[in-house]
């Protein structure tokens, strides 16, 4: 990845005055594709982690015997939050 950055940086510095907007945009799109391919496994892993966390939260809420506490909101509006699991009602 660092080689691509260095190569592109040199290319831009060398040709910045002669490049057209289309050429620059094309190079930018190439770099975006490379970056997305490089970071895709990490995004997939983070998505899996987020899904596991969400399932754990939902299971905790589902199995909780809620003890709601009244909280005040804006303009005399109230909402209730469970002391045990954080569920908002």
Domain-located, residue 7: yes
Query: In whole angstroms, what is the distance from residue 8 CA to residue 14 CA?
Result: 10
Kindly report, residue by residue over 25-36, the tens digit of the pLDDT.
998 999 999 999
pTM for the model: 0.63
Q: Does 89 reside within a domain? A: no
Is the residue at 44 inside a domain?
yes
The answer to whether residue 71 sits within a structural domain is yes
* The predicted structure's pLDDT at residue 12: 87
pLDDT exceeds cutoff 90 at 1? no
Residue 75 lies in a domain: yes
Closest by Cα among 80, 83, 85, 81 to 62: 85
Report the mean per-residue pLDDT for the chain: 89
- On the question of pLDDT at 74 being above 80, the answer is no
Residue 87 lies in a domain: no
Question: Count of domains in the chain?
Answer: 1
Structural domain boundaries, residue 41: 2-82
pLDDT at 22 over 90: yes
Residue 88 forms part of a structural domain: no
Per-residue pLDDT tens over the stretch 36-64: 999 999 999 999 999 999 999 999 999 99
Query: Is 78 within a domain?
Result: yes
With H, G, I as helix, E, B as strand and everything else as coil, classify residue 72. Answer: strand
């Amino acid at each position: 990845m660092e080689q691509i950055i260095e190569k592109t940086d040199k290319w831009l510095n060398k040709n910045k005055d002669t490049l057209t907007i289309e050429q620059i945009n094309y190079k930018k799109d190439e770099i975006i594709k490379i970056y997305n391919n490089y970071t895709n496994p990490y995004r997939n892993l983070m998505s899996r982690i987020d899904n596991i966390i969400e399932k754990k939260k939902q299971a905790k809420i589902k199995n909780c015997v809620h003890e709601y506490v009244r909280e005040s909101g804006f303009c005399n509006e109230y909402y209730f939050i469970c002391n045990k699991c954080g569920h908002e009602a």
